Structure 1
Amino acid sequence: MNVLADLVLLAHFAIAVFLVVGMLLIPLGAYWQWSWVRAPRLRQIHAGLMILIALEAFFHITCPLTVLEALLRHTDPPESFWAEQLSKILYWDLPLEFFTILYGCCVVWLLYLWKSVPPIKKS
């Protein structure tokens, strides 16, 4: 079960990296005129995930990936080195209000990017 828990943690971490890197690369890509940053499906997935995470924080809902990982681990700490390192990066011991504000700011940033760097409309 720990291997499955590690895979869930890795997927969770990959999603977090995708969101953070996207928020940085979209404006940079607009500046450097990279066409892929305007891909509609990429932008929809990116914005949708961020809005979902912000709503989870606002309504105090634990992320399903966190719940699944805890179930697979039986709430034991990670046993593998990589799982422990990823957990330290992914799970911050801060008040829920911090995350609500952080994710809300991320959504506002993404809405700004959606307006200033709009996805290309398919014809």
Structure 2
Amino acid sequence: MDALSPAFAAFLADAILALHVGIVAFVVFGQAAILIGAWRRWRWIRNFRFRIAHLALMLFIALQAWLGQLCPLTVWEQALRGHAGQTAYAASFIEHWLSRLIFFQAPWWAFVAAYSAFAAVALACWYWVAPRRKGR
């Protein structure tokens, strides 16, 4: 990381934050789409690749919460911000606004409970609104 300029490290940190927000949006809006799509009979919500990516991400998030680990994206972003001489979540426009969308102040157990409940819903939907592979 020493070879990175501080400006490039800040840019990469912003890019990781944007990716992080995108993943959160995929998980949250993907689950909403699955539930609404089951009711509306949307065929695309049964796409196997979409569903396996959604479920795998949610199970990973719940597991890291149970293990008391930070998301690797958060760790990388914070390391890059430190290299750029920035304090975590107080520098650029992107960082300022996007981080407020996905980072909340709450006790750790609240996140473990929320992520576990969300993973349980995603897993239940795997059976309730079963994905289908092409040709089946």
Is the TM value for this pair above 0.5? yes
**In structure 1, what residue type is equivalent to 2:92?**
S
Runs of 4+ in 1 over 3 A off after TM superposition: none
Quick check: which has more Rg, 1 or 2? 2
Q: Select the residue among 83, 104, 110 that pairs with 2:116.
A: 104
TM-score in terms of structure 1 length: 0.95
Q: Percent identity?
A: 36
Name the amino acid aligned to 2:119: V
Select the residue among 128, 133, 136 that pairs with 1:116. 128
Given candidates 13, 25, 30, the residue that maps to 2:38 is 30
**Structure 2 Cα separation of the partners of residues 90 and 2 of structure 1:** 19
Aligned-CA RMSD value: 1.1
Instruction: Say which of 83, 87, 95 aligns to 1:76.
Output: 87
The aligned residue for residue 92 of structure 1 is: 104
Establish whether residue 53 from structure 1 lines up as the match of residue 64 from structure 2: no
Structure 1 runs not aligned, ≥5 long: none
Q: Distance in 1 between matches of 2:124 and 2:37?
A: 15
Task: State the SS of the aligned residue for 1:73.
Answer: helix
Match for residue 26 of structure 2 among 18, 21, 26 = 18
TM superposition score normalised by structure 2? 0.86
Is 1:63 the counterpart of 2:71? The answer is: yes
> Once the 2 structures are TM-superposed, how far is the Cα of residue 111 of structure 1 from its aligned partner?
1.4
Aligned length: 123
